[in-house]
Amino acid sequence: MSNILTVYHVLMNLFVFIKKYFRVISTVIFPKRTYTHIRSMQHAMPMRITYHNGIYSLTKYSDSKSILLACKYENDTKATQMIATYLSRGLSDILLDIDSDEILHTQKHSRVIHIAPIPPSATRIKTHGIDHLTNIATLCVNALTPTYNIRVRPMFVYKKNVSEQHTLNKKDRLKNMINAFDCNTLPPKEDLIIILDDVTTTNATIVSARETLVRKGHTHVLCIAFARVY
């Protein structure tokens, strides 16, 4: 019995040593992004507001991939703040463009605006524990509050298990998001809801969320993805 315990302790010590050694090596090979590196990515990420199939996007994914990955998987605060700044600028331009339209009617403060982020899947929460879109939306709202009556309102919940979209082909992505969402308590139907996603490729996720709101009688809906894959 004592020999078994001795072997166990040796193996555990070896595991701890290997884990620490691997962490040191990985830090050398894959150093953490510095603020200077994050700032350098900003210059390669021009604002390109496009409107396609009812969905606005602010930049190309190829231009913003590095900063999105830093925000999404590393919870990098500088990257999150930079994306929020881009979003607040882009959203402000979009709202100004539609300000005279029926979506906002006359006064900017006459209608409450709710940003509804697409929630992370259960798998993503389990593996990364980050709700990066809510973090981005919160910073964006802080920047826009002086101008608009705007707030973050998470309202979407998954009503089925979904796979990570980036792991699927186009056909399976569309199938994966069919009737994927339900909604928590909704705001009054005269309010404007802005559905926010980080990246759109097939539009499957954001369209599924929009269809959920439409089925519940909400017609004042704006869809925005930070980046689009072309």
User: Cα–Cα distances in Å, from 164 out to 83, 121, 123, 230?
Assistant: 22, 7, 8, 19
pLDDT tens profile 74-127: 899 999 999 999 999 999 999 888 765 555 554 444 679 999 999 998 877 877
Mutual angle of helices 77-97 and 132-144, in 10-degree steps: 50
What is the reported pLDDT for 118? 96
Is 38:79 a contact under the CB 8 Å cutoff? yes
26 has pLDDT over 60: no
What average pLDDT does range 153-179 have in this prediction? Answer: 89
Beta strands in the chain (DSSP E): 50-52, 55-60, 113-117, 150-152, 156-158, 181-183, 192-200, 221-228
Mean pLDDT, all residues of the chain? 83
| pLDDT band, residue 50 (cuts 50/70/90) | very high
Query: Where is pLDDT greater, at 90 or 163?
Result: 90
What 8-state DSSP symbol labels residue 168? S
44 has pLDDT over 50: yes
Half-sphere exposure of residue 73, counting CA atoms within 13 Å on the CB side? 8
Q: Which range, of 6-15, 163-172, 174-183, averages the lowest pLDDT?
A: 6-15
% of the chain at pLDDT higher than 90: 52
27 has pLDDT over 80: no
Q: Which range, of 38-47, 56-65, 141-150, 157-166, averages the lowest pLDDT?
A: 38-47
Supply the Cα-derived Rg of the chain in whole angstroms: 21
